[in-house]
Amino acid sequence: MIKKNVTKVNIVVIKLKGGNMNRIIIITLALVSFNAKAKHQKLNLQKAMEQHLVKAKANSLGGYQGYCMNLNLISLSPDSLIVYIEAGRRLNSTDDKNQDILIVKEEIIVLSKLENKWVKVKGYCCQANNHSPSQNAKYDINTLADSSLVTLARYLNAGSFDAHVEQQAIWAISDKKPTANITMRNDSLSLPLRELVATLKGEPLPWYTVISRTYVFTSGVMENYPQLLRGKLNYSNDRDTYVTLFILDNKGKEVCLLKSQWMKAEVNGNYDLNVPVKSLAKGKYSIGLRTSDKELTKREFEI
């Protein structure tokens, strides 16, 4: 909509001298300004859809994480719009075997009136037991996810983590996967994210972390495999002796003896763990240190 406004009228008097005669010229200047700025209505995608200003749908670009979704927005408005695509929106697969996708990066989209626009959005699987979607798999826009996933998505939107860490954080909430899986080689970078997830789940921060890898099979089925257990075992040993590192299953049965080594007497010592756990089935275990006659320490973990 364009408004024409006359903003100011100036009277300018100019005296010109020529010989004995003065000439006065009065010039009237009319300054006209045009307000050509379009009206931009600003609102989030949820409100835009509720008010029938925008119609939206989504297709998969193939894959389950990162910029894996293509969002289509069609403006139904006679004026231009600025639409915020919210971090925390859950895109619902129309095929029940495929994963839903949680958007974790806010996008700001400018739509001219009646414009049809496609936008790539960043998101992650929030149904670990479903299939990774193939290209062009259809999705409904749905609504915002539950409050814990929305809080997590907004945190990820403001931060910077690698894709594996972000995915593990989402699965820790959406699928109740172990919080300890939220880690990378430089663990200090992922610690704040792990603390947030533990708080959202209402659980204590795990004392350990598990390095894992996710495999996607040609069928679309996905599996997450633990690789390494990391952490510190606090112990006290009153004499120099051989100490054995062991793992027990949830029934107390010994599943492996990892190694024995000579250790000096120490009070409040820390034993650094970097233990391969590829051969262990998913479940709960305990790991500890013992001498020939007593147990020095033992702690529980889950993979």
Answer yes or no: is pLDDT of 6 > 70: no
% of the chain beyond a pLDDT of 90: 75
Q: What is residue 39's predicted lDDT score, i.e. its pLDDT?
A: 58
Q: Enumerate the domain spans of the chain.
A: 3-35, 40-206, 225-302
Q: What is residue 173's predicted lDDT score, i.e. its pLDDT?
A: 98
Per-residue pLDDT of 18-70, as tens digits, reads: 444 444 444 444 433 333 344 568 899 999 999 999 999 999 999 999 999 99
- Cβ 149 vs Cβ 123: under 8 Å: no
Show the tokens assigned to 94. Answer: 């129309």
265 CB neighbour count, 10 Å cutoff: 11
Per-residue pLDDT of 252-263, as tens digits, reads: 999 988 888 999
Q: What is residue 40's predicted lDDT score, i.e. its pLDDT?
A: 67
Residues whose CB falls within 8 Å of the CB of residue 221, separated by 6 or more in sequence, listed in order? 131, 132
Q: What is residue 200's predicted lDDT score, i.e. its pLDDT?
A: 98
Query: What number of H helices and E strands is found in the chain?
Result: 4, 18
d(CA 77, CA 79): 5
Sign of the Cα torsion 263, 265, 271, 275 reads positive
The pairing of strands 80-85 and 40-44 is parallel
d(CA 47, CA 85): 11
DSSP 183: -
- How much is the mean pLDDT over the chain? 87
Burial of 168 (0-12, 13-18, 19+ CB in 10 A): buried
Angle of helix 163-174 relative to helix 191-201, nearest 10 degrees, comes to 10
Q: What is residue 180's predicted lDDT score, i.e. its pLDDT?
A: 96
Q: What is residue 28's predicted lDDT score, i.e. its pLDDT?
A: 42
Answer yes or no: is pLDDT of 188 > 90: no
Residue 127 identity (one-letter amino acid): Q
Place of tokens 């719009």: 81
For the segment 202-221, the average pLDDT, to the nearest whole number, is 92
| Dihedral angle, C-alpha 148, 154, 157, 160, nearest 10 ° | -60
Q: What angle do CA 147, 84, 201 make, to 5 degrees?
A: 15
Q: What is residue 227's predicted lDDT score, i.e. its pLDDT?
A: 93
* Residue from 248, 237, 251, 259 nearest 299 by CA: 248
Q: What is residue 264's predicted lDDT score, i.e. its pLDDT?
A: 92
CATH class name, domain 225-302: mainly beta
For the segment 75-83, the average pLDDT, to the nearest whole number, is 93
Angstrom CA distances, 62 to 114, 136, 171, 203, stand at 28, 7, 19, 34
Per-residue pLDDT of 161-176, as tens digits, reads: 999 999 999 999 999 9
Per-residue pLDDT of 228-269, as tens digits, reads: 999 999 999 999 999 999 999 999 999 988 888 999 999 999
Answer yes or no: is pLDDT of 12 > 60: no
